[in-house]
Chain A
Amino acid sequence: MKLACILAFACACTVAAGCRTTAGTSVVMNHQTGGSVIYEGNTRLHNEVAVTAITYDKVPAGLNRVNIQLTSLVQRQLRLQYRIAWFNAEGMEIDGDARTYRPLILQGLDSVTVTGVANHPSAVTSRLRLRELRAADHRRW
């Protein structure tokens, strides 16, 4: 009985620790070739949100722009955050500190399009990072 309690406590701790994962979905987009690769690091998020379309264009000033359509696969409201980072031809991130996580509230089975504009003319690759809101640092002081 005591062993069962200890094991149950250990399992609960493991589950709780798993709920705190900060891994999410990443989409790497190459604006020169038009190709994209999707990495899904969170099974729960994979079952909740899908990347359904990606388009590339340029703003009038000549900077690259990417539009990504995200579709909810569940019926409840999802509270997410997304960030679009830009990389130069060498694969180095440009001004990483300046790119923020933006909130995204996705209604059940709804689709939204998120857009990112390059922050420098040398940006040729972009990466969308999508995570659950609870993955953001929410510890209280």
Chain B
Amino acid sequence: MKTVFIPVAGAVLLMTFTGCATAPRVYESELDRAPMTSRIEPQDIRRTVEKMAESLISDAGVLEATGGKRPVLDIEPMKNRSQMIVDMKSITDSVRTRLIRSRLFRFVDRSTSGADITIMDEQAQLGLTDRRKAIRGGQQSAAEMYLTGSLTDMVTHAGRATDHYYKFTMILKDLRSGEIVWTDEQEIRKVAIRPVF
């Protein structure tokens, strides 16, 4: 019995592991998965965006500065002062999305101003658009405040452990008065321990 069972079991195990090696394992992962590395990961960005948007929405100072109206905001790209390569525009875009959907803020987007001019020129000059319906320049809303911020990091090595500390800071600045109306920060700390072998 043993002389038959062991080879058969071995053959089955070999086929099983060989079968697993022929194709890569790919599966849908949830967005807020457990950390895989000590670097900034997508779930850290998501949490930061959610926290910043919530903080801005619930701040009494913003409401006071805007007189209870829906202010027009703009985005100034955040500064990356860390050692990591992070798409900072993506973060501010996500914050803008949350704030617009809350119906408490309005936004302008200077990054697409070139496209605005091109479309208006085409409407005015190509002759395809009814002149009475063509959009003329000089009617767009002006930003009253703008959002900006920065990302910094600090790395500490101690033996096999590496401690990564990240800090996102965002501010909302009033263009008219020059005052910072709101500010908040998100701190993230991760420790990576190298295996012995």
Whether A137 pairs with B30 at a CB distance below 8 angstroms is yes
| Interface membership of A119, Cβ < 8 A | yes
- Distance in angstroms between the alpha carbons of A61 and B104 in the assembled complex: 8
Main secondary structure of the interface of A (DSSP, over half): loop
A140 to B34, CA, bound (A): 10
Choose from A120, A138, A139, A140 the contact partner of B102 (Cβ within 8 Å): A120
A140 to B35, CA, bound (A): 10
> Which residues between 117 and 140 of chain A lie within 8 Å of chain B, taking CB atoms?
117, 119-121, 133-134, 136-140
**Cβ of A98 under 8 Å from chain B:** yes
- B32 engages A100 (CB within 8 Å): yes
Bound CA span A101–B46, Å: 9
Q: Report the Cα distance A63→B58, complex, angstroms.
A: 8
Judging by beta carbons under 8 Å apart, are A136 and B103 in contact?
no
**A101: B residues at CB distance < 8 A:** 32, 43
| Nearest CB of B to A113, in Å | 14
B3 to chain A, nearest CB (A): 16
| Contact partners of B53 in chain A: CB under 8 A | 119
- B101: CB under 8 A from chain A? yes
Contact assessment for A100 and B50 in the assembled complex, using a CB-CB cutoff below 8 Å = yes
Q: Considering the complex, give the chain B residue whose CB is closest to the CB of A79.
A: B34
Q: Write the nearest CB–CB distance from B1 to chain A, whole angstroms.
A: 10
Residues of A within 8 A of B (CB): 59-61, 63, 65, 81, 83, 95, 97-103, 116-117, 119-121, 133-134, 136-141
- State the B residues within 8 Å of A (CB): 25, 29-34, 36, 43, 46-47, 50-51, 53-54, 57-60, 63, 98, 101-104
